[in-house]
Amino acid sequence: MTFNIDEIRAQFPILSREINGYPLAYLDNAASAQKPRAVIDAMSRQMETSFANVHRGLHSMANETTAAFEGARGKVAALLGAPSSEQIVFTRGTTEALNLVAYGLAHTLKPGDEILITQMEHHSNIVPWHFLRERYGAVLKFAPVLDNGTLDLDAFKSMLSAKTKIVSVVHMSNMLGTLNPVTEITKWAKAAGATMIVDGTQAVVHSRVNVAEIGCDFYAMTGHKLYGPTGIGALYGKPAALERLQPFNGGGEMIEDVYEDRVTYADIPHRFEAGTPPILEAIGLGAAIDWFMALDRDMAWQHEMACYYHALDGLRDIDGFKLIGDAPQKGAVLSFTLKGAHPHDIAQILDKYGVAIRAGQHCTQPLMARYDIHSTARASFGVYNTLGEADRLVAAVKKARLFLS
């Protein structure tokens, strides 16, 4: 599919909506993206024509639904560059994927073992490791972030040691937009003997990901930021890494046999997918991946960054504007503050003009503390946004500046 912005926008029904009498300018994509008709139709069609529970069914619709569900697993593998669909575990999203890994690795730790993450992590890549600190005596360490939003790589390397057992790093920051060199970081982590985990929530949307080239043990992603449904995501794992994990949830589907005195587990990946899975959501994610991978990905990236820089050029002229995060390698995430104006007030004023942005801490409180700020306003661009919407963002922020002065 060539990159034609008008054709792309026409595939998103919600973009025809008006907010307060203004055409919707949806710039909250880092929180959750809108859904194309292909995803909406795929889920509706499955419910209308052939829905049943998956696996072990003996009737036609169970087999058809199972084929669609497992087909979506293969599409996730293709998106991530995974060698096999058996290395893909369906989860409710990145948060559950990271909790699955943390819980599954807990038995490998002893008091004093170290877990190294960064100051730019989302809470979903912080809190599970705090669980291991609280419950198993692990030591949690945070690698620092430089003023421009770049990870301090020298400090990161210096914090690795023989005590480092787990390294978990975000691929692309949801607040700064910074793209971290995860392939290089993986080499350092593996040289130290640590398990390497990557939070790919934002990166899979904006950059090409190949887990085989990265070399990480685990890579987590979610569907709703990738133009897919909520409640579905995935965890990639190397076979040996997945074998090390203890099952996270217990119940049907994840077992081979259950007796009064013992239980045996199903093969990977099914041993990590207890109960009825998010069947329709997985099929919707598969449709989103089909739609997304048909785009000219390089042109999509260029278009998103053009919107980002167009907005940034206009915002820089506004009195009191401050950009948070200006790393040389970053995606189209624009976090900012206005002197004397609370980000929540900015967002509410922008909504009056049909411009949807996010305001708050973005589940990154340690990063906010590092910059000595309470919160930011954040505009984040997707494939369907336009330069005109970037102009509308700037115009609305100017009105907010006047109102809040």
- Read out DSSP for 43-89? HHHHHHH-----SS--SHHHHHHHHHHHHHHHHHHHHHT-S-GGGEE
Contact assessment for residue 120 and residue 178, using Cβ atoms and an 8 Å cutoff: yes
pTM of the predicted model over 0.85? yes
Q: Is the pLDDT of residue 368 over 90?
A: yes
Give the tens place of pLDDT for each residue, 134-168: 999 999 999 999 999 999 999 999 999 999 999 99
Q: Per CATH, the architecture of 41-293 is what?
A: 3-Layer(aba) Sandwich (3.40)
Which residues contact residue 260 at a Cβ distance below 8 angstroms, ignoring those fewer than 6 apart? Answer: none
Give the tens place of pLDDT for each residue, 50-90: 999 999 888 999 999 999 999 999 999 999 999 999 999 99
Chain Cα centroid distance, residue 297: 17
User: For residue 104, what is the enclosing H or E element?
Assistant: helix 94-105
**Residue 199, token pair as written in the block:** 């939070």
Instruction: Report how far residue 214's alpha carbon sits from residue 182's, in angstroms, rounded to the nearest whole number.
Output: 7
Q: Is the pLDDT of residue 1 over 60?
A: no
Share the mean pLDDT of the chain. Answer: 97
Contact assessment for residue 178 and residue 329, using Cβ atoms and an 8 Å cutoff: yes
Instruction: Delimit the domains of the chain by residue range.
Output: 5-31+296-404, 41-293
Catalytic residues: 363
What dotted CATH number matches 5-31+296-404?
3.90.1150.10
Give the strands of the sheet with 333-338, arranged side by side.
Answer: 321-324, 333-338, 376-380, 358-360
Share of the chain above pLDDT 70, in %: 100
